Structure 1
Amino acid sequence: MHPTARQFATQVQEAHGFEAAIEEFPEGTKTASDAAAAIGCDVAQIVKSIVMRVGDETVIVLTSGANRVDEAALGAEFGVEADAVQSAGASEVKRATGWSIGGVPPTCHATECPVLADPTFDTFEEIWAAAGTPEAVFRLTPSALRTLSDPRFVDVFE
């Protein structure tokens, strides 16, 4: 197992008592479509961890692989205009989460950022999320996502 995926497995176990059964795919799971194809699930079951700048705040948005963040709706959720919402750059993602783009898990972040989640996840028995690298994922339930990430489930998606 890649050392970064192992690091995630250790962190999530220590922080939440959750044993992440990590699966690695050498062909990569960088996009939701790539991940769904590698895993053999619906693209909507993929948890995309999107790191956004909303005004002066960094926000993590856990989006179904079938959806996109609606920047106007996200801004409204935080009381700012859509033009104050933008994707975080690679260095901001790393600083805020401790993980690199493509491998950001839905939990075990380096800083305390607000976490929002897509209500779509509740329509599935299992979902899949990044486990620290663009090649590593782990299976979880929507209930486990609630426990691990403590997100606010809101509809800020196109």
Structure 2
Amino acid sequence: MSDHLPARSRLVHDAIRAAGIPGDIVVLPDAASTAALAADALGVEVGAIANSLVFWSDGEPLLVMTSGAHRVDTKALATRLGRTSITRATPDQVRQATGQAIGGVAPTGHPASLVTIVDEDLAAFPEIWAAGGTPHTVFPLTFPQLVDLTGGTVISVV
């Protein structure tokens, strides 16, 4: 039941249910706004955390779902995607594109769908965890579920 969830997380809950993903959103006692904090709270490897990073690229938001084990190489990714540049979105751009705050951006539940890249390294984990719309919420899913949920393009981001 999603009644106990923050409003942003209820949107995410509804979106993952509509996509047929059975995992429940977990409310953590402390904010898990970084991959390391989320991994510690959940008792999983940091690589199994699917960081939702919003970038700005060629005049539009770009959501990159990346393993918490590494950083996105924006220059290499821009080259792979044939884009002019990829830069970090500002907090205002993140909020406008996703309706969510940095540290809690989910892969879904946004006002409009976003062009999404999914880090191929996440495929190594049988279960991954993504933010649930706030820095205190996360949910489990599989790599194929993440790709289906986001309509993302699977590619190396490092």
- 1:54 aligns with 57
Residues in 2 aligned to 1:7 and 1:115: alpha-carbon distance in whole angstroms: 18
Greater mean alpha carbon deviation, residues 39-48 or residues 85-94: 85-94
Consecutive aligned runs of 4 or more in structure 1 exceeding 6 Å deviation: none
- 2:131 aligns with 130
1:6 corresponds to which of 10, 17, 30:
10
Would you say how many aligned residue pairs link Structure 1 and Structure 2? 154
TM-score of the aligned structures, taking structure 1 as reference length: 0.90
Secondary structure of the residue that 2:100 maps to in structure 1?
Answer: coil
- 1:75 aligns with 78
CA RMSD in angstroms, aligned pairs only: 1.5
Greater mean alpha carbon deviation, residues 130-139 or residues 100-109: 100-109
**Structure 1 residues 77, 113: CA separation in 2 closer, same or farther (over 3 Å shift)?**
farther
Task: State the identity as a percent.
Answer: 36
After superposition, residues 4-153 of structure 1 pair within 5 angstroms as 4=7, 5-14=9-18, 16-81=19-84, 84-153=85-154
Residues in 1 aligned to 2:50 and 2:87: alpha-carbon distance in whole angstroms: 19
TM-score of the aligned structures, taking structure 2 as reference length: 0.90
1:107-141: CA deviation from partner (whole Å, max 9, x where unpaired) = 23222321001111111100000001101000001
Residues in 2 aligned to 1:92 and 1:39: alpha-carbon distance in whole angstroms: 29
Residues in 2 aligned to 1:150 and 1:7: alpha-carbon distance in whole angstroms: 18
Q: 2:109 touches 2:133 (CA, 8 Å); kept in 1?
A: no
**Structure 1 residues 143, 70: CA separation in 2 closer, same or farther (over 3 Å shift)?**
same
Secondary structure of the residue that 2:16 maps to in structure 1?
Answer: helix
Residue 129 of structure 1 aligns to which amino acid in structure 2?
Answer: A
Is there any run of 5+ residues in structure 1 with no aligned partner, and where? none
Residue 87 of structure 2 aligns to which amino acid in structure 1?
Answer: Q
Q: 1:9 touches 1:20 (CA, 8 Å); kept in 2?
A: no
Secondary structure of the residue that 2:37 maps to in structure 1?
Answer: helix
Is there any run of 5+ residues in structure 2 with no aligned partner, and where? none
